[in-house]
Structure 1
Amino acid sequence: MDNVDLNVLRQATTWLAQGHRVVLGTITRTWGSAPRPPGSSVALRDDGLVAGSVSGGCIEDDLVDKARAGALTTGLPQVVRYGIDTDTAQRFGLPCGGLIELVLEPVQPRTRLDDLLARLDRGERVRRVLTIASGEVDLQPGNTTDELALDDTTLVTHHGPRWRLLLIGAGQMTQYLAQMATALDYQVLVCDPREEYATGFEVPGATLLRSMPDDTVVEMKPDGHTAIIALTHDPKMDDLALMEAVNSPAFYIGAIGSRANQAKRKARLKEHFGITDDQLARIHGPVGLKNGARTPPEIAISILAELTAVRYGYRVPEPVPVKPQAAVEAGCAT
């Protein structure tokens, strides 16, 4: 689940602690064009306050009316659909006649949100099984899949970090990149055995590892939801991580450094470690989108922009430099 939906769960528990009745809504299926994907959630308070979104506002308005009337916050979970015909789709503003299916779940002690949040705070992945007929919830260890499933009796959702990001080096760049990546639902791991860099490194939500980079990559068992980026400029550190990374299913492998340094790095990996040309081609370097970034936070943004593109199957073409707008306005354009 992403940070938006995690905040929905936190808000629901806060409202419950304040004495309000709360209902939790989870998108289970969409057909046609829908504003938010399955798994997205919304919390509604008995007085009509809303946290999160499942439709951009149109369906929430109807749910608010029902919550204020007391029709949602008591009883058992229920499955509802919006946009099942053209008239309903037009009424609720669903684009292109889209259809959204929701499970509405009154939040009660058996909902186990406090237990779920405690596990998520520990960085765990959790498989949550809701029994529709009783409202009872079972929390189980998460597995490698994260597909939502709804049948006649149960709703199964997956919570916790889906994407992992391993950063080699605990320097200044890593500080910015780790902070931004946690906001994008990455579980961030930072590897640096060097005392002078690791001492004092602290980013909320990121885990610092002091093992050697190659050992770290092997131990974490990268999968198709893992990105590995070398950021130290030190061949003894970066090369060790990349050597193991290119042999893994990681969806993204990157290394900081100029084009000249990238060429030297690839030559070393090929000569000393027997890395093939196909494996070397997996390394994004210089890492990040080429957008003119110069400062550490700018470069961090460019790296995460490229990660996002790769995650969703997009290839961003090489940009064409243009003169800054300030120069154009000053009459410096040719």
Structure 2
Amino acid sequence: MANWGTDRDVIQTAHQWLQEGHALVLVTVLKTWGSSPRPPGSLLVMRPDGVHVGSVSGGCVEEDLLARYRQNELSDLPVRLDYGVDRQEATRFGLPCGGRLELLLEQLIDPDQLQPLLSAMEQDELVARRVDLTGDAVSLGPASADQAFSYTDEAISKVFGPQWQMLLIGAGHLSQYVSQLALMLDYRVIVCDPREEYAAGWQVPGARLIGMMPDEAVGEYTGHPRSIVLALTHDPKLDDMALLEALGSEAFYVGAIGSQRNCDARRRRLRELGLSRAQIQRLHAPVGLDIGSHTPPEIALAILAEITALRNAATAVVRNPDAVNVV
């Protein structure tokens, strides 16, 4: 069994395997050079029988690590390893030309080693796991949303928990699909809907449902540079309240559902309500990439694709003025 796995997947699986009596090795990408497939901080946990979850490369490095583990070549842990230190080795391990990885391997033998970290993640807390590379001590401490993975000769520090927060206005059908995708992408998801009939049908574990008014929810839960606000009700009384607050905040992304005609009318309303032209230009509406989406799952995919592209700054997002969201 193998899959890429989120940090939470890796830690939950490792904890379960330790409870079952397996010895494990936790592998962390410390540093990359060139076009390495996985970024620093990526995780892999592996058992001696070859079962593993997570990823540190495209697959070939994992195969070599597992082979060395089965052959007892990784007994003196913790240890740092280099892969792809020259062109020939980079090609052998499936790394792009010139690619190189530096990895940290740690031995895990007791579920108590991961229980505090797992408990913090289950509470959606942001924590930094620090490994002292001079004395091998491991500690947990509070972390901030903008804290990045760090690696020096003395220690590494990796943040666990949702560093990005998404507030959805409306607990309708579309919000369920957006929530599910966002949770897979490790967002903290909060769904705001004061309408009892919608709140009663909410069924997405892991996404917190609140019943306050949308403008209050924006003020309470978002506004920092790592927050996302999506107005998804089709009801101007609710969506516009949230947008008025969100477009004047530091939120990274503010979007709203609707056809182009409805979105143009919304922009006029927001202008009449006092928002500046610059604030209104921040609004992504119709929300999401234009992929010809019509069903709720397709629209959710388009929304998360656009946010991901902007977050990664990897793609120039070209918007189609004729795009329409249909639910």
Q: Is TM (by shorter chain) over 0.5?
A: yes
- 2:71 corresponds to 1:78: no
Q: Residues 25 and 103 of structure 1 are in contact (CA less than 8 Å); yes or no, is this contact kept in structure 2?
A: yes
Aligned to 1:112: 113
**CA deviation vs aligned residue, 1:70-95 (integer Å, no higher than 9, x gap):** 233x5542211111223332332321
1:296 aligned partner, one-letter code: P
SS of 1:294 mapped into structure 2: coil
- Structure 2 gaps of 5+ residues are 323-327
- 2:259 corresponds to 1:277: no
Aligned to 1:128: 129
Aligned to 1:287: 287
Change (3 A) 1:163 1:22: same
Aligned to 2:88: 87
Aligned to 1:328: none
Q: Residues 232 and 257 of structure 2 are in contact (CA less than 8 Å); yes or no, is this contact kept in structure 1?
A: yes
Q: Mean Cα displacement is larger for which, 185-194 or 215-224?
A: 215-224
Q: RMSD of the TM alignment (CA)?
A: 2.1
Aligned to 1:312: 312
- Distance in 2 (alpha carbons) for counterparts of 1:120 and 1:169: 26
Q: Residues 3 and 185 of structure 1 are in contact (CA less than 8 Å); yes or no, is this contact kept in structure 2?
A: no
Aligned to 2:33: 31
- Distance in 2 (alpha carbons) for counterparts of 1:221 and 1:319: 28
SS of 2:94 mapped into structure 1: coil
**CA deviation vs aligned residue, 1:25-73 (integer Å, no higher than 9, x gap):** 000100011111111111121233322221112211221122112233x
Aligned to 1:4: 6
Q: Residues 263 and 286 of structure 2 are in contact (CA less than 8 Å); yes or no, is this contact kept in structure 1?
A: yes
Residues 121-270 of structure 1 correspond to what in structure 2 (within 5 A)? 121-270=122-271
- 2:50 corresponds to 1:48: yes
Aligned to 1:57: 59
Aligned to 2:325: none
Percent of residue pairs identical:
47
- Distance in 2 (alpha carbons) for counterparts of 1:58 and 1:320: 44
Q: Residues 291 and 319 of structure 1 are in contact (CA less than 8 Å); yes or no, is this contact kept in structure 2?
A: no
Q: Mean Cα displacement is larger for which, 179-188 or 312-321?
A: 312-321
SS of 2:294 mapped into structure 1: coil
**CA deviation vs aligned residue, 1:75-122 (integer Å, no higher than 9, x gap):** 542211111223332332321121101111111449731221111111
- Distance in 1 (alpha carbons) for counterparts of 2:5 and 2:217: 26
1:198 aligned partner, one-letter code: A
Q: How many residues align?
A: 318
Q: Residues 165 and 222 of structure 2 are in contact (CA less than 8 Å); yes or no, is this contact kept in structure 1?
A: no
User: Post-superposition, which runs of at least 4 consecutive aligned residues in structure 1 deviate over 3 A?
Assistant: 108-111, 318-321
**CA deviation vs aligned residue, 1:209-263 (integer Å, no higher than 9, x gap):** 1111111111124222211110112222111111111112222111112222222
- Distance in 2 (alpha carbons) for counterparts of 1:220 and 1:84: 45
Change (3 A) 1:3 1:160: farther
Following superposition, the deviation at residue 319 of structure 1 comes to 5.8
Give 1 or 2 for the bigger CA radius of gyration.
1
- Distance in 2 (alpha carbons) for counterparts of 1:3 and 1:241: 33
- Distance in 1 (alpha carbons) for counterparts of 2:197 and 2:215: 20
Q: Residues 27 and 44 of structure 2 are in contact (CA less than 8 Å); yes or no, is this contact kept in structure 1?
A: yes
Q: Residues 5 and 54 of structure 2 are in contact (CA less than 8 Å); yes or no, is this contact kept in structure 1?
A: no
**CA deviation vs aligned residue, 1:254-279 (integer Å, no higher than 9, x gap):** 1112222222222221112x101111
- Distance in 1 (alpha carbons) for counterparts of 2:112 and 2:139: 9
- Distance in 2 (alpha carbons) for counterparts of 1:134 and 1:109: 19
- Distance in 2 (alpha carbons) for counterparts of 1:86 and 1:235: 58
- Structure 1 gaps of 5+ residues are 322-334
Change (3 A) 1:248 1:319: closer
1:246 aligned partner, one-letter code: L
Q: Mean Cα displacement is larger for which, 25-34 or 311-320?
A: 311-320
1:7 aligned partner, one-letter code: D
2:189 aligned partner, one-letter code: V
